[in-house]
């Protein structure tokens, strides 16, 4: 049986003319570590595991982002978690790997609006424009490790640990207000 820890309540954290920051509804999150032939795991998951760091693939509501040479994050509806774990367990003997349910430790912030990318630069030294639409990266935001998913030129998802929601939420709220003050 999987133990679930509740995430912060979904809803808007900050909103201005510049950007809106919201907490998204909880979803299943799995951390996959594997090497070698990925075909058995791809078949078990029902999608091709991305082969380049920062790229992602999706089928239906299941989405996978490659974070490192042997590391992926899988996002899926909560109802799918047990099926995904069982499917990967079915190939474990022939293809050893590590699959860990990290659903309870993280939350996703949605950052969208005309100045969403600029808002992210307030706490991220990375050049946000180098993250192509459809890709994602692990990075640091105001000293906190986060994963950024770029869904559109003006729409991002930021995955953070639950314990940092208050800290980063406050910083993003302040940034929304500051950016909005500069909009004519």
pLDDT in tens, 107-139: 999 999 999 999 999 999 889 999 999 999 999
3-state percent helix, strand, coil for the chain, nearest multiple of 5: 25, 35, 40
At 26-39, the pLDDT tens digits run 999 999 999 999 99
Q: For the chain, give the mean pLDDT.
A: 91
d(CA 119, CA 25): 22
Better-scored residue on pLDDT, 182 or 64: 64
d(CA 20, CA 12): 7
* pLDDT surpasses 50 at 1: no
Instruction: Give the number of other Cβ atoms within 10 Å of residue 12's Cβ.
Output: 10
């Amino acid at each position: 049986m999987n133990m679930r820890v509740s995430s912060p309540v979904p809803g808007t954290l900050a909103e201005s003319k510049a950007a809106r920051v919201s907490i998204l509804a909880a979803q299943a999150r799995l951390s996959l570590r594997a090497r070698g032939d990925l075909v058995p795991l791809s078949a078990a998951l029902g999608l091709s595991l991305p082969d380049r760091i920062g790229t992602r693939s999706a089928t239906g509501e299941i989405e996978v982002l490659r974070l490192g040479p042997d590391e992926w994050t899988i996002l899926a509806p909560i109802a799918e978690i047990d099926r995904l774990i069982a499917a990967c367990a079915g190939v474990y003997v022939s293809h050893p790997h590590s699959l860990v349910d990290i659903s309870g430790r993280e939350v996703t912030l949605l950052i969208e609006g005309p100045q969403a990318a600029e808002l992210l630069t307030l706490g991220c030294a990375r050049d946000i424009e180098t993250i192509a639409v459809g890709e994602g990266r692990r990075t640091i935001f105001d000293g906190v490790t986060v994963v950024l998913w770029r869904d559109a030129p003006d729409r991002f998802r930021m995955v953070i640990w639950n314990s940092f929601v208050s800290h980063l939420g406050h910083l993003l709220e302040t940034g929304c207000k500051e950016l909005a003050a500069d909009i004519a």
